[in-house]
Amino acid sequence: GGGGAQLVLLDHGLYRRLSEDYRLAYAQLWCALLAQDDAAGRAAASALGVPPDDYATLAIALTFRPPGSRAPLGSGMSAAERRAIRERYASVGPAEVNAFLGRLPRDMIFVMRTWGLVRSLNRALGGTTRQRFVTMATYATRGAHRRRPSARAEPAA
């Protein structure tokens, strides 16, 4: 009430231990998506267990951009991109969406659910899509370049 800083703890009830390999591949996926590097994105998605035919749909779900788009992330899609996506997914209904989600690894579903919460909170707090992507880029880059605990050098005796 006195205008001071507040600490807010959000307990979303979602907890799962992700493997180090998953963490690294997920960070690499985001680095590739944000750099608009289709080949690296496909490789990272494959390492996560995402079927190759589902990569484009996953990329759209995470970034609101089709793979290969050169539009800056956080900006609107071009009319041609929107038209192409509408045409590609025109016949997709709830059964196909459920089938897509069923093909994704459980860890990916968990992370996507958590990501949805982050996106919603960002919007509710007045954040922009661009700010969210900049934050994701910062931490994905850090995560992709952080060495695995087993790969760290042992201190000299």
The model's pLDDT over 35-83, given as tens digits with 9 standing for 90+, comes to 889 999 999 999 999 999 999 999 998 888 888 888 877 777 889 989 9
d(CA 66, CA 58): 9
Cα 75 to chain centroid, rounded: 17
Residue 24 tokens, joined:
């690294």
pLDDT at 152 over 60: no
Query: Which positions ≥6 away from 65 have C-beta within 8 Å?
Result: 33, 36, 59, 71, 73, 77, 81
Residue with tokens 């750099």: 35
For the segment 118-144, the average pLDDT, to the nearest whole number, is 87
Tell me what the mean pLDDT of segment 86-113 comes to.
Answer: 93
Task: Using CB atoms within 10 Å of the CB of residue 45, give its burial: 0 to 12 exposed, 13 to 18 middle, 19+ buried.
Answer: buried
Tokens of 61: 């779900």
pLDDT at 108 over 60: yes
Alpha-helical segments (H) within the chain: 20-35, 38-47, 55-63, 79-88, 94-103, 106-124, 129-145
pTM metric for this prediction: 0.77
Confidence at residue 148, expressed as pLDDT on a 0 to 100 scale: 59
State residue 150's pLDDT score: 56
What pLDDT is attached to residue 1?
A: 54
- How confident is the model over 20-30, as pLDDT tens digits? 999 999 999 99
More confident site: 111 or 15: 111
Angle at 107 between CA 41 and CA 67, to 5 degrees: 20
Confidence band for 157, pLDDT divided at 50, 70 and 90: very low
